[in-house]
Each structure stands twice: as structure tokens, then as C-alpha cells.
């Protein structure tokens, strides 16, 4: 499939392209993602990466209805929390990289909508606690990375 790779690009480059299999944007001033960015690429998009783009949050349904998306990378941004329905209807998602953001909170139920996830990277965030109950929704998970987080033992058993 066709792919787009941009350095210092804009979202206009993504929305103006014919259907893509992969989108990689590096060092771009994106900040806010919306559903409309990916609308044209729904049936074909397998991989999305926005690295060092200043993204502050992932609104509900931004990546919704991408039936073949397998890899989502939002590393090196400014995301502070993961809200419950941010990743809806991603039946094929296997890899999620949210490393090196500022994530300190993951809403209850965030992982329920991504049961096929095999690799989760949360290195370099501000997480202090993980709920075992939340992670049980990830039955396919093979690897989770949480290095460089201020994790404590205060939440054991929760």
C-alpha cells in the first residue's frame, strides 16, 4: 500500500492524500487530532505514527472505525491522560506505543476496546499505579513496557 512520511508537516498533507496504508509524521506541529483526519483512509490504514508532534490529548473516537489498523504510535508527545473511549472500534490493533508522554492517568475501561493488543509501550511517562483488573481486559497482551515511570507499591492489590 501507499504510505506518507512527513517531517515538519501538517495535517493537510494527510487529509489530501489518496487512501494510505501507513502515515508517519515526525517533528510536526499537530497538537489536535480529529476523526476527519483519518476518514478517507479507513479501509486501508494499517499503521499510524505521530511522533514528537505536540499532541496533548486523544479525543474520543479519533481513531474509531479503522478496521485494519494494527500499529498506533503516539510517542514523544504531551499526552497527559488516556480517556475511556479514546480507542474505539480498532478490532485489529496489536501494537500501541504511548512512550515518552506525560501520562499520569488511565481511565477505567480504557483497555476494554482493544482486546487484540499484543504490545503496549508506556515507557517514560508519569504513571504511579497500574490496576491489575484493567490489564485483564488485554488477554492477548504479550509484552508491556513501563520503564522510567514513578511506579510505587502503594497500589498493590488494586
Q: What is residue 15's predicted lDDT score, i.e. its pLDDT?
A: 75
The count of domains in the chain is 1
Which residue stretches of the chain are H helix?
A: 11-15, 132-135
pTM exceeding the 0.95 threshold for the entire prediction: no
Which residues of the chain fall below pLDDT 50? none
For the beta carbon of residue 30, count every other beta carbon within 10 angstroms. 18
User: What rounded mean pLDDT belongs to the chain?
Assistant: 89
- pLDDT, one tens digit per residue, over 47-59 is 999 999 999 999 8
Report the CATH number at residue 142. 3.80.10.10
| Domain encompassing residue 94 | 1-158
Categorise residue 100: left if φ over 0, alpha if ψ from -120 to 50, beta otherwise: left
Strands 81-82 and 47-51: unpaired
The separation between the first and the last C-alpha atoms of the chain, rounded to the nearest angstrom, is 44
Give strand ranges (E) for the chain.
3-7, 22-26, 47-51, 71-73, 81-82, 95-97, 105-106, 119-121, 143-145
Amino acid at each position: 500500500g501507499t504510505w506518507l512520511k512527513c517531517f515538519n508537516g501538517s495535517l493537510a498533507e494527510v487529509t489530501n492524500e489518496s487512501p494510505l496504508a501507513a502515515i508517519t509524521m515526525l517533528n510536526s506541529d499537530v497538537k489536535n487530532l480529529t476523526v476527519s483526519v483519518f476518514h478517507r483512509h479507513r479501509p486501508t490504514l494499517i499503521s499510524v505514527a505521530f511522533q514528537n508532534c505536540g499532541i496533548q490529548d486523544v479525543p474520543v473516537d479519533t481513531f474509531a472505525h479503522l478496521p485494519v489498523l494494527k500499529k498506533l504510535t503516539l510517542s514523544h508527545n504531551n499526552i497527559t491522560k488516556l480517556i475511556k473511549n479514546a480507542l474505539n472500534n480498532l478490532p485489529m490493533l496489536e501494537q500501541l506505543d504511548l512512550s515518552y508522554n506525560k501520562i499520569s492517568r488511565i481511565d477505567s475501561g480504557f483497555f476494554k476496546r482493544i482486546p487484540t493488543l499484543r504490545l503496549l509501550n508506556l515507557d517514560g511517562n508519569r504513571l504511579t499505579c497500574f490496576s491489575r483488573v484493567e490489564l485483564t481486559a488485554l488477554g492477548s497482551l504479550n509484552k508491556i513496557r513501563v520503564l522510567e515511570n514513578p511506579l510505587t507499591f502503594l497500589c498493590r492489590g488494586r
